[in-house]
């Protein structure tokens, strides 16, 4: 399904139900409902859960033969479950059909444009699934002795080196499981660093534009959040920072480019203020896709960086994970990084280097999770780095920035009157529009625009973030989109605004062509039904 299908007026709209889903039928439009949808039996079936398809006695699993003498009484009765867990009873063909049908009710990056700001929805190369699935990777036990896991440890060591080069910081721990986990590692490292120097610092600064994970992490690590303001160019309010950077401040968590998609030109001064106060400077790597090969967080003065391998380094997002959130740190933070750490050992006897897990790190903050991290993600991200190489990574960032600026310019043409950019500057890999004028002049909100975009076959940008911007729309096209796709998106937004000028109700009631329409989220939260009653 292409964007083309949704571009006609709703009254004449063909189904853009995802992937040409045959289950939606369009009835005659009425005044209050430009498109009427009726359910077919097949569609009703798709909303049935696998438990509702269960029939006693059906099954897929064939158990291996019991090849040892059966013994009774191995487990005392008081430990024994009296009733089996009520799992579905269903045969393999029906399981496959169930999940394949469900899959068709998802919009995905391989199908269409997904300009979700701060999420870096770039193409996920297919090679990566193939190499991750090699038995030497997929069936390698995490507690295999390092001597018999040399390939995996070497891959991890090489990835550490490559990420360190991209960040401009010499030491990398791959362990954290996602960006938020990397943030937690970073703040715990900061705590360990200060405590080792005999200092007790209680506050962490975060800009008011920060990702929600930043303040949430600060609280979880036992610090108090202090917000720093934003100036009229979208950067850190340096005077506010100076006033708040006292000797009880442990750290400033910053994203650069920030969540407005803007590079903070005062970064050197910011780093000076933070370091003069004895605090560390933390880099939220969610926006690293803007700067690879152009500038490096370490060179900007950051002490700790986390990477989102599922953003910048193409691990597929999986509908909400898995990811990985490695961290890179400066020399002064290195003693505290999580253990175990992958190290290279030089035997010095003419034999080649070997790779090992180093547990002997007395100042380490310790483990943040089991085993060595999300290795399967490391394989995919390293495949990406090998494929692109030094030039390719830089070109990826340059194209991401070019695509964002191009789309920003095109949207200024098609929608600029009602949907202006929040900060009129060259952006980096993403930019923020404000829907304030649109709401006032056309009577539709950013949410309505987002929902109407679904009918045009686009995933909407991030909405209502950053919180600082009224009716915000955060757009990140990434480097893997073509000019034609960007043009089509800009035109769709323009078309939705003209449509709203005639009839705002069309957007307010959108979407029409999706497997379900607007859902009662308030009701879901008020009376939570979070499992199938069985």
Partner 1 sequence: MLAAVGAASIDELFADVPERLRLGRPLDLPAGKPEQEVYGYLRGLAAMNVSTEDEVSFLGAGMYDHYVPSLIDSIITRSEFLTPYTPYQPEISQGGLQVMFEYQTAISELTGLPVSNASVYEGPSALAAAGYLATLHHPARTRFLVSRGVHPHSRETLATTSVGWGTTIEEIGLSDGATDAGALDAALSDEVSAVFLQYPNFLGAVEDLEALVPAAKAAGALVIVQCDPLGLGILRPPGDFGVDVAVGEGQTLGNRLDFGGPSFGFFAAQQAYLRRMPGRIAGETTDVDGRRGFVLTLQTREQHIRREKATHNICTAQALNALAGVIYLSWLGREGLVELSELLLQRTAYAREALAGVEGVEPLHSQPVVREFAVTLDADVEQVIERCAAEGVNPGYPLGRDYPELSNGLLVALTEQRSRADIDRLARTLQAAVRDTVPA
* Residue from 23, 34, 326, 376 in contact with partner 1 (CB under 8 A): 376
- CA 92 – CA 54 distance, rounded (Å): 12
Helix (H) or strand (E) holding 497: helix 483-502
**Strand bridging mode 203-207 / 249-254:** parallel
Question: By CB under 8 A, is residue 342 in contact with partner 1?
Answer: no
Binding positions for partner 1, 252-311, rule CB under 8 A: 262-263, 265, 267-268, 291-296, 299-300, 308, 310
**Residue 22 lies near partner 1 (rule: CB under 8 A):** no
Residue list 110-139, contact with partner 1 (CB under 8 A):
110-111, 114, 116, 119, 121, 124-125, 127, 129-139
Q: How far is the CB of 497 from partner 1 (least distance, A)?
A: 20
**Site stretch for partner 1 (CB under 8 A), options 7-15, 327-335, 491-499, 514-522:** 514-522
Minimum distance from residue 41 beta carbon to partner 1 (Å): 14
- Closer of 44 and 332 to partner 1 (Cβ): 44
Element (H, E) at 250: strand 249-254
Nearer to partner 1, 373 or 436 (CB): 373
Q: Say which DSSP state 322 is in.
A: -
Q: Report helix, strand or coil for 265.
A: coil
Q: Which residue's structure tokens are 């295999």? A: 144
Tallying the residues shown for the chain, one arrives at 534
Residue 534 binds partner 1, judged by CB under 8 A: yes
66 binds partner 1 (CB under 8 A): yes
Q: How far is the CB of 157 from partner 1 (least distance, A)?
A: 11
Contact with partner 1 (CB under 8 A): which of 31, 198, 200, 319?
319
Based on the shown chain and the rule CB under 8 A, indicate whether residue 140 belongs to the binding site for partner 1.
yes
Query: Are residues 41 and 16 in contact, defined by beta-carbon separation less than 8 angstroms?
Result: no
Q: Does 178 bind partner 1 (CB under 8 A)?
A: yes
Nearest by Cα to 135 from 152, 121, 118? 152
DSSP states of 376-410: HHHHHHHHHHHHHHHHHHHHHHHHHHHHHHHHHHH
**Residues between 455 and 484 that touch partner 1 (CB under 8 A):** 459-460, 462, 465, 483
User: Tokens in use for 491?
Assistant: 């035109």
Contact 353, 150 (CB under 8 A): no
Specify whether the CB–CB gap between 45 and 104 falls below 8 A.
Answer: no
Smallest gap from Cβ 350 to partner 1, in A, equals 20
Of positions 28, 31, 41, 68, contacts partner 1 by CB under 8 A = 68
Binds partner 1 by CB under 8 A, chosen from 244, 317, 445, 452: 317
Whether the Cβ atoms of residue 159 and residue 381 lie closer than 8 Å to each other: yes
351 touches partner 1 (CB under 8 A): no
Q: Collapsing DSSP states into helix, strand and coil, what is residue 306? A: strand
Does 199 bind partner 1 (CB under 8 A)? Our answer is: no
Taking residues 204 to 243 in sequence order and writing x for each that binds partner 1 by CB under 8 A, - otherwise, the string is -------xxx-xxxxxxxxx-x------------------
Q: Is 494 in the site for partner 1 (CB under 8 A)?
A: no
Q: Interface with partner 1 includes 71 (CB under 8 A)?
A: yes
Under rule CB under 8 A, residue 523 binds partner 1: yes
Q: Name which of 269 and 470 has its Cβ closer to partner 1.
A: 269
Query: Edge to edge, what strands does the sheet with 171-173 contain?
Result: 171-173, 327-329, 304-307, 280-285, 249-254, 203-207, 224-228
Contacts of 293 (CB under 8 A, 6+ apart): 166, 390, 391, 393, 394, 397
Would you say 179 and 306 are in contact if contact means Cβ atoms under 8 Å apart?
A: yes
Report the alpha-carbon distance of residue 237 to residue 207 in Å, rounded.
9
Does 200 bind partner 1 (CB under 8 A)? Our answer is: no
**Contact with partner 1 (CB under 8 A) among 15, 160, 173, 180:** 180
Contact with partner 1 (CB under 8 A) among 25, 39, 196, 276: 39
Residue 383 interacting with partner 1 (CB under 8 A):
yes
* Interface with partner 1, residue 360, by CB under 8 A: no
């Amino acid at each position: 399904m292409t964007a083309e299908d949704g571009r006609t007026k709703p009254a004449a709209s063909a189904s853009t139900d995802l992937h040409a889903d045959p289950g939606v039928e369009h009835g005659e439009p009425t005044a209050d409902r430009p498109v009427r949808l009726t359910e077919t039996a097949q569609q009703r079936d798709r909303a049935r859960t696998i438990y509702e398809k269960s029939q006693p006695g059906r099954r897929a699993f064939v158990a291996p033969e019991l090849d040892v003498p059966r013994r009774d009484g191995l487990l005392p009765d008081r430990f024994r479950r009296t009733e089996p867990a009520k799992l579905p009873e269903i045969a393999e063909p029906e399981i496959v059909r169930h999940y394949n049908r469900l899959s068709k009710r998802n919009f995905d990056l391989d199908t269409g444009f997904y300009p979700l700001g701060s999420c870096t929805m770039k193409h996920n190369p297919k090679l990566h699934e193939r190499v991750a699935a090699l038995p030497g990777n997929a069936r390698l036990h995490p507690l295999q002795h390092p001597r018999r896991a040399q390939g995996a440890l070497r891959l991890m060591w090489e990835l550490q080196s490559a990420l360190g080069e991209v960040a401009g910081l010499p030491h990398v721990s791959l362990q954290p499981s996602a960006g938020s986990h990397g943030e937690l590692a970073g703040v715990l490292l900061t705590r360990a660093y200060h405590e080792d120097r005999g200092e007790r610092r209680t506050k962490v600064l975060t800009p008011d534009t920060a990702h929600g994970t930043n303040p949430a992490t600060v609280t979880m690590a036992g610090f108090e959040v202090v917000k720093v303001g934003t100036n009229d160019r979208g950067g850190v309010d340096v005077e506010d920072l100076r006033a708040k950077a006292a000797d009880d401040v442990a750290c400033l968590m910053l994203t650069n480019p920030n969540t407005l998609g803007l590079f903070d030109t005062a970064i050197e001064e910011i780093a000076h203020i933070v370091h003069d106060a004895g605090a560390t400077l933390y880099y939220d790597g969610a926006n690293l896709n803007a700067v690879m090969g152009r500038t490096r967080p370490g060179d900007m003065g950051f002490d700790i960086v986390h990477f989102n391998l599922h953003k910048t380094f193409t691990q597929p997002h999986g509908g909400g994970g898995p990811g990985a959130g490695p961290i890179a740190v400066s020399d002064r933070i290195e003693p505290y990084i999580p253990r175990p750490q992958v190290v290279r050992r030089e035997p010095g006897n003419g034999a080649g280097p070997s790779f090992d897990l180093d547990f002997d790190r007395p100042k380490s903050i310790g483990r943040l999770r089991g085993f060595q991290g999300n290795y399967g993600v490391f394989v995919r991200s390293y495949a990406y780095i090998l494929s692109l190489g030094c030039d390719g990574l830089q070109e990826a960032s340059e194209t991401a920035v070019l695509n964002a600026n191009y789309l920003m310019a095109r949207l200024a043409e098609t929608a600029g009157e009602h949907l202006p950019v929040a900060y009129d500057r060259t952006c980096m890999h993403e930019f923020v529009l404000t829907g304030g004028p649109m709401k006032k002049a056309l009577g539709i909100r950013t949410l309505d625009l987002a929902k109407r975009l679904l009918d045009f076959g686009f995933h909407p940008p991030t909405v209502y973030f950053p919180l600082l911007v009224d009716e915000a729309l955060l757009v990140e096209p990434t480097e893997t989109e073509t000019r034609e796709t960007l043009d089509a998106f800009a035109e769709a937004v323009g078309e939705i605004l003209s449509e709203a000028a005639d009839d705002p109700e069309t957007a307010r009631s959108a979407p029409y062509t999706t497997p379900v329409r607007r859902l009662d989220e308030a009701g879901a939260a008020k009376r939570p039904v979070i499992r199938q009653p069985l």
